[in-house]
Chain A
């Protein structure tokens, strides 16, 4: 792999490790959340940024990971390690089913179908209130949230595990998009007819992208639930499908590093502006409009366009 690419992405991870030792406690906690959410955004980006499929229902995969982990953890007493894997498996299985059905459509229809599936999943969580506690959700007991002997209620451990997960997702995404598989996804995004003419099975590649994207999202959902002790239906609501789209657009669609900066930017935009005015969503909205006008390819996308053409 190109040394510059390794240095950039490795440098980001090293910086995040250094920040663990120097950040004030509030920002330390925020960054742990941001890194987990960035895994969700990276997963979304694989489908949207690299494959060109705009899903409006990714919250269902995040929530499937969260509930796939949380339900057996809470009701069956499954250990955190197996529960985490169960979360990823649930999200992957759901992504496979949704992909098989939704990929029969294209463009706007794909957006609508994924949105509908996601809403159905959300309502299913509410309707299964006997087990999910509906909109209220479930609290995961702090004493049981132990992963390989590490106490997830400890802020230091939580940060380092979030960093570990983020490093894994970032590396996996980097590896994937530079593999022939990733290049085929880009080819499908740019010109699906030509990719098909070249002999690639477009449907299978898209389906694989949906499943991988769903598993990244599910891993983020499962980790979020385990780390912060709460599993709730609001994570399956439509706005939680819009967030990764915004994060990726802001950070730079089709860049591996961009989603992290998208999440970071949005998180602090809301956190800081909410301290200035009750109308903080207006500030957030104006900032988003300005960014879209003046950096339409997102933060990392703009950096790639202007300076770093090699940015993956």
Chain B
């Protein structure tokens, strides 16, 4: 799908409009102006074109739908508050089918046909890794929202950055102390038998050892698996905690069969919300997860002391207090991840404004401007919380949350500050040539 969206129009929903007004007084004033008047101070009224590589079809489609909604909402807000360098922001969407081959083709299409200024928004790791080499060769800034460790590991290139979402290594490091201190020292890991699962296996095993804990069994689930009954007997009896992550589309079966296996007496359970993103936690079959713990990048359910930033962010996208669509409460969002799109678009805006970006000839200046960024305070631009960007590794760091599932909703029980999510640099992209 190619979709070009210039989101300068005022939202139709009055409630959403009210919420948007809270974002910034100046922004609201700007929003009242007609489109032509908002950009008159710009050197060029031509829009800044951002190529959004969307997982509209394929295995990433559920995430893709919400990445799209978040992107459109952020672009609308940016346009209502004056655009980028006074120029309107235009989102050019292409479906990559969650496929690395098509992903690379889409990046070429962005650069050579749509003539976008930057490419952005890719989530699934294999699509990022398949596309990034072409972005590098085309010298197209490529802002991914993937949470994979591939950027910070040094496997990609200087043109690929991840400034809007934290990576799996820092997430896992942040969770290990909670698991060891609160849930138990002996952990059995159940993870998908592919690279994302292996990252969890390796990083968490290391992090647990540092906490004096131990991963006593590692159960890899083949990606084609649809039933999990035969894996549960491999969980050692002395297990204190089961750690599960991204078992895939069969997650409901996984939970149901785990419930049948353990019955009422089960070890503590800790999981990553990834496979339950865009899934209603009150769905039949998920009852067994009641009382278990999850990592969340951003809390799906409104928490006590909700910030104005979170309130405005939900309103802009059209979400209720349960992280579901206002139009349909059964349409649950990918709330723990999609803030990355919102924040990345704002980083692109900030980077372009700092670089005095005027066109594709300034792409290198844009990358350099983002590389020197460090502090990103909690704000309307960063509603998930304060961030610290590491220009050498092109990776951002931020706070992480542990939430407990009770009465069908997740409530945060611990927030890990970003300083506790650091790890030593594995690459210095700034030393690489453009």
Q: Identify the A interface with B (CB < 8 A).
A: 24-26, 29-30, 33, 123, 126-127, 129, 133-137, 139-140, 142, 153, 228-230, 232-235, 271, 274-278, 280-281
Q: Please, which residue of chain A has its CB at the minimum distance from the CB of B109?
A: A26
Q: Please, which residue of chain A has its CB at the minimum distance from the CB of B115?
A: A26
* Shortest Cβ gap from B138 to chain A (Å): 9
Q: Is the CB of A129 within 8 A of B137?
A: no
B-side interface residues, number (CB < 8 Å) = 38
Q: Is the CB of A234 within 8 A of B195?
A: no
CB 8 Å contact bits of B114-131 with A (1 = contact, 0 = none): 000000000001100110
What are 13 A-B interface contacts by the 8 Å CB criterion?
A126-B194, A129-B193, A129-B195, A134-B198, A136-B125, A140-B133, A142-B133, A230-B100, A230-B133, A233-B126, A234-B99, A276-B2, A278-B95
Say yes or no for B113: interface residue by CB 8 A criterion.
yes
In the complex, what distance in Å separates the CA atom of A280 from the CA atom of B95? 10
* Shortest Cβ gap from A129 to chain B (Å): 5
In the complex, what distance in Å separates the CA atom of A134 from the CA atom of B136? 22
In the complex, what distance in Å separates the CA atom of A9 from the CA atom of B258? 61
Say yes or no for B112: interface residue by CB 8 A criterion.
yes
Partner of B137, one of A25, A26, A136, A229: A229
Q: Is the CB of B100 within 8 A of A274?
A: no
Q: Is the CB of A274 within 8 A of B95?
A: yes
* Shortest Cβ gap from A247 to chain B (Å): 14
In the complex, what distance in Å separates the CA atom of A50 from the CA atom of B194? 38
Say yes or no for B132: interface residue by CB 8 A criterion.
yes
Q: Is the CB of B108 within 8 A of A232?
A: no
Q: Is the CB of B112 within 8 A of A29?
A: yes
Q: Please, which residue of chain A has its CB at the minimum distance from the CB of B137?
A: A153
- CB-defined contacts of A233 to chain B, threshold 8 Å: 126
Among A24, A136, A229, residue most surrounded by chain B Cβ atoms (within 10 Å): A136
Q: Is the CB of B130 within 8 A of A232?
A: yes
* Shortest Cβ gap from B350 to chain A (Å): 28
Q: Please, which residue of chain A has its CB at the minimum distance from the CB of B3?
A: A278
Question: How many A-B pairs fall under 8 Å by CB?
Answer: 97
Q: Please, which residue of chain A has its CB at the minimum distance from the CB of B104?
A: A228
In the complex, what distance in Å separates the CA atom of A271 from the CA atom of B108? 12
In the complex, what distance in Å separates the CA atom of A114 from the CA atom of B132? 32
* Shortest Cβ gap from A26 to chain B (Å): 4
* Shortest Cβ gap from B40 to chain A (Å): 32
Q: Is the CB of A129 within 8 A of B194?
A: yes
Partner of B150, one of A24, A136, A232: A136
Q: Is the CB of A230 within 8 A of B130?
A: yes
- CB-defined contacts of B195 to chain A, threshold 8 Å: 129, 133-136
Q: Is the CB of B112 within 8 A of A26?
A: yes
Say yes or no for B330: interface residue by CB 8 A criterion.
no
* Shortest Cβ gap from A35 to chain B (Å): 14
Q: Please, which residue of chain B has its CB at the minimum distance from the CB of A272?
A: B2
In the complex, what distance in Å separates the CA atom of A228 from the CA atom of B194? 23
Q: Please, which residue of chain A has its CB at the minimum distance from the CB of B149?
A: A136
Q: A25-B112, A139-B133, A142-B157 are in contact. List 7 more A-B contacts (CB 8 A).
A: A26-B113, A137-B130, A229-B134, A230-B133, A232-B100, A234-B99, A274-B1
- CB-defined contacts of A127 to chain B, threshold 8 Å: 193
- CB-defined contacts of A274 to chain B, threshold 8 Å: 1-2, 94-95
Partner of A139, one of B95, B129, B148, B198: B129
* Shortest Cβ gap from B56 to chain A (Å): 6
Q: Is the CB of A142 within 8 A of B136?
A: yes
Find residues 182-223 in chain B having any chain A CB closer than 8 Å to their own CB: 193-196, 198, 222-223
In the complex, what distance in Å separates the CA atom of A235 from the CA atom of B95? 18
- CB-defined contacts of B24 to chain A, threshold 8 Å: none
Say yes or no for B353: interface residue by CB 8 A criterion.
no
Find residues 268-299 in chain B having any chain A CB closer than 8 Å to their own CB: none
Say yes or no for B155: interface residue by CB 8 A criterion.
yes
Q: Is the CB of B193 within 8 A of A275?
A: no
In the complex, what distance in Å separates the CA atom of A149 from the CA atom of B2? 38
In the complex, what distance in Å separates the CA atom of A126 from the CA atom of B104? 21
Q: Is the CB of B108 within 8 A of A29?
A: yes
* Shortest Cβ gap from B67 to chain A (Å): 14
In the complex, what distance in Å separates the CA atom of A141 from the CA atom of B216? 37
Q: Is the CB of A137 within 8 A of B112?
A: no
Find residues 337-377 in chain B having any chain A CB closer than 8 Å to their own CB: none
- CB-defined contacts of A228 to chain B, threshold 8 Å: 104, 133-134
Find residues 154-191 in chain B having any chain A CB closer than 8 Å to their own CB: 155-157
Q: Please, which residue of chain B has its CB at the minimum distance from the CB of A119?
A: B224
In the complex, what distance in Å separates the CA atom of A274 from the CA atom of B137? 24
In the complex, what distance in Å separates the CA atom of A11 from the CA atom of B347? 51
- Residues A126 and B1 in contact in the complex (CB < 8 Å), given A26-B112, A140-B133: no
* Shortest Cβ gap from A187 to chain B (Å): 37
* Shortest Cβ gap from A147 to chain B (Å): 15
